[in-house]
Structure 1
Amino acid sequence: MINERRRRFGAYLARLRRDARKSQRQLAESLCRISGTASVTRHEISRWERGERIPDVWLPALSVALSIPLRTLERAAAHARGEDIGAGAPSPAEALAYFLPDHDVELGPLASTAGRRVGASTAAALADRAHGLRLADDVIASGDLLAPALRELDGAVQLYRETTHSEETGRSLLSSIGEIAQIAGWIASDAGEHNQAAHAYRLGVSAAREAGDLSLVGNLAGSLAYQLSNTCHEDDGLSLARAALDEAGPDAPTKARALYLDRVAWAQTKAGNPQPAMRALAEAHEAMADEDSQEAPDWAYWVSPEELDVMDARVYTELRRPLRAVPLLQEVLSRYDSTHTRELALYLSWLAVALVDANEPEEGAKTARHMLDLAADFPSDRTARRGRVVLAKLEPYRDVPEVREVLDTYAA
């Protein structure tokens, strides 16, 4: 059985590979080229990412191939082997240590350094920490990650306020504050702390506007709109989702614009407007297909045609169109990254509902069981809410044995 430390280390490697824009096969080829051997295959990379093996002897080559400091990889591998605190389960702080790199910038109390001048290296360090939080969110439960994320946000704001810097460095620091605020808001929302999330999003919008980063403003405003749409504030969510799209403007990077349009589609769906929702979905795919002269921002790394397909299927499910939703979700999930436990559980919840709507309660129950097992391993407010929706959907089919077994097992 793969223990939790090794699973997290595998998820970490998978994220590093995707950030480097390499397939498993391409990474294997890079390692063979760097090492001068032909002994690494795509299947071996897959074993590492599933947590079945730790690539100890390959860490130096991985460091070169993925542009990651060797010390960072060695620390993460040692933690995965249990060398630091023995065989016990890792604390969130230990898991987070994988993702927040060591730098000369200290995101804590800065009284002793108040007034010192910082430059490009500090701005780059803060951007690295924002990226580290993004990586951590994939593998650490929101309840465990929320407090560290809020500390990072407070420290970033303090760093900006209590140091001096050039205008260019100041803009970079403000953009990183906006990114950390978006991640912290997302984590807070996933933990069910909606007021904290809204505060973080609004702080981030202020920082991103001051930095002149309109794409980031759109991401922050759209994230808050998404929360509003999902917490019984559908009209406010729709208004803000539209405003996020408008503020980012038509020249936003294509991935970002596709994301904003997807959020408009969801807001329209939750507001009970099916035709505008369908139009926004179509526009999101058109935006994604457009050629883009701009490089996508780092925070948009996860936006892809597959993610747009998932939103399509979610909208179809919400609109009670299971014949469209089921095959689309099944196709996407057949190749979805299994290391993203929370997202996989959420997407399975939509498939379970769509299957029941398609009058396939047995398959719906099977999918629900998989979803609920994953949700138990990676708790969040969003997965808990979706679990309740799935169980309520199954309840009218209690006389079906497969359904009754799921309801009796998980209803509590």
Structure 2
Amino acid sequence: MGSSVGANIRRYREERGWSQARLAREVCLAAGVQGEPVGRQEVSRWETGKRTPREWLPFLASALGVPVEALREPQTPAEPPLPTLADFLPDDDPLEPLSARPGGRVGMGQVDDLQQRVHSLRLADDFLAGGDLMRPALRELRKAVRIYREHGYTGLTGRQLLVQIGELAQIAGWIASDAGQHEEAERIYRLGLSAATQAEDHTLAGNLAGSLAYQLSNTGREIEALDLARAALDGAGLDAPPKARALYLDRVAWAHTKAGGSENAQQAMRALGEASEALSADSEGTESPAYLYWVDAGELQVMESRVYTELRRPLRAVPLLRDVLGRYDATHTRELALYLSWLAVAYADANEPEEAAATAERVISLSADVASDRTAERVKVVLARLAEYADVPEVRAVLDSAA
């Protein structure tokens, strides 16, 4: 019975557009119980068949507005459902509040303070690399989770705390990934996804899922990345803020690109076009979250040029990259090194080894003082690509110097 019931619960829940956290609350209301003996994690276990609802089944049916038998009804075998963000939540519930909370009450003033610290960390990431920010980022995240689990607060304050934990997890995960701590980054991203889902902030959940998908694309888990990037886009919906939707589509484009093959290349180009269309809607006055301040036409241009580089289309990539780099803020050392690395590879693909060598020198020089795993990996990629032109004197000099 378990698998059929779980599949039916998920189907009816998704038909109503409810999150697992919302269904958990509705079940408790239907049962007339105080507190939340059923939480999001329990709903997840029911849906995956790890547990059977048993005594909760009538209340589930009542909450969903269907007869109990409709939940027990065997489903006709069909194609596996497309993954949703719920499939990528952590198995445990790292945000479950303690039954006995030793701390006092938390008010919106403390939430506002946390919001300021999260924003400061985000701005610091524009100038500093993951290796420099890893410790303070993890310290802030642990502190925020501890406040949520150990203190009391109103429902509104609790939701805002979850939102800030989600935002903090996104930037902390990004920092951990930049420091090369990919397992830690994934754990942090999934924690943030849980927080954003419980807060029912679909835009933030999409941002976290897209960030994790980006890491998976770059660390050899391309198929999983593609599933997650699509789930992020679908989960946010068509009414997501323009900048957010553009970013999700960018992540989808990158996931398709890294997955390889002509069909994926076509899908990547389609997603890039849709991202540009989504961003153009931003001028129509729809407000996007403050944490997406960096998403603009220039960033989309960078992603487009990187896709072209990966697809070995240097005649499209080089002009785009040169245009972006010609007006890029030189104080953003890590990003400048990363973007130049793509230009160096594109020059090599265009059979311009001298230009590639000159650009590679800048990449290596900028990367030398940056504690970023991303730039270190890109240097390796650039050098490997240059090795094909080892007989060119300018290239030989760069390779010998790097060695």
Assess same fold via TM > 0.5. yes
Q: Secondary structure at the match of 1:290?
A: helix
| Aligned pairs (5 A) from 1:5-20 | none
For 1:374, give the aligned amino acid. L
Residue 395 of structure 2 corresponds to which residue in structure 1? 403
> What TM-score do you get using the length of structure 2 for normalisation?
0.73
For 2:331, give the aligned amino acid. T
Residue 224 in structure 1 maps to residue 216 in structure 2: no
Residue 71 of structure 1 corresponds to which residue in structure 2? none
Residue 157 in structure 1 maps to residue 145 in structure 2: yes
Residue 327 in structure 1 maps to residue 319 in structure 2: yes
Residue 134 in structure 1 maps to residue 122 in structure 2: yes
Residue 190 of structure 2 corresponds to which residue in structure 1? 202
Picking from 291, 295, 298, the partner of 2:287 is: 295
Structure 1, 176-185 or 162-171: larger mean CA deviation: 162-171
Residue 280 in structure 1 maps to residue 264 in structure 2: no
Residue 356 in structure 1 maps to residue 348 in structure 2: yes
For 1:258, give the aligned amino acid. A
Partner Cα distance (1:231, 1:398) in 2:
28
What displacement does 1:140 show?
2.2
Residue 381 of structure 1 corresponds to which residue in structure 2? 373
Gaps of 5+ in 1: 1-112
Partner Cα distance (1:351, 1:141) in 2:
21
Deviation digits for residues 367-406 of structure 1, max 9, x if unmatched? 0100111111213111111100100110111111111111
Partner Cα distance (2:371, 2:357) in 1:
20
Same amino acid, percent of matched pairs? 66
Partner Cα distance (1:344, 1:216) in 2:
27
Picking from 116, 120, 138, the partner of 2:104 is: 116
Deviation digits for residues 149-185 of structure 1, max 9, x if unmatched? 1111000001111221111111111111001111111
For 2:344, give the aligned amino acid. A
Partner Cα distance (1:363, 1:114) in 2:
63
Q: Secondary structure at the match of 1:373?
A: helix
> What TM-score do you get using the length of structure 1 for normalisation?
0.71
Q: What is the root-mean-square deviation in Å for CA atoms of aligned residues?
A: 1.1
2:318–2:346 CA contact under 8 A, matched in 1: yes
For 1:181, give the aligned amino acid. A
Picking from 204, 207, 211, the partner of 2:199 is: 211
Partner Cα distance (1:294, 1:170) in 2:
27
Residue 91 of structure 1 corresponds to which residue in structure 2? none
Q: Secondary structure at the match of 2:378?
A: helix
Gaps of 5+ in 2: 1-100
Going from structure 1 to structure 2, the CA distance change for 1:128 and 1:114 (only over 3 Å counts) comes to farther
Residue 148 of structure 1 corresponds to which residue in structure 2? 136
Q: Secondary structure at the match of 1:284?
A: helix
2:132–2:371 CA contact under 8 A, matched in 1: no
Moved over 3 A (4+): 291-294
Residue 79 of structure 1 corresponds to which residue in structure 2? none
Residue 249 of structure 1 corresponds to which residue in structure 2? 237
Residue 313 of structure 1 corresponds to which residue in structure 2? 305
2:170–2:192 CA contact under 8 A, matched in 1: yes
Residue 265 of structure 1 corresponds to which residue in structure 2? 253
Deviation digits for residues 171-222 of structure 1, max 9, x if unmatched? 1111110011111111111111111000000000000111111100000001
Q: Which structure would you say has the larger RCO, counting Cα contacts within 8 Å and 6 or more residues apart? A: 2
For 1:127, give the aligned amino acid. Q
Residue 27 of structure 1 corresponds to which residue in structure 2? none
For 2:109, give the aligned amino acid. S
For 2:208, give the aligned amino acid. L
The structure whose Rg is larger is: 2
Residue 368 in structure 1 maps to residue 370 in structure 2: no
Partner Cα distance (1:200, 1:115) in 2:
24
What displacement does 1:293 show?
4.5
For 1:350, give the aligned amino acid. W
Picking from 229, 234, 237, the partner of 2:225 is: 237
Q: Secondary structure at the match of 2:295?
A: coil
What displacement does 1:294 show?
3.4
Partner Cα distance (1:376, 1:152) in 2:
28
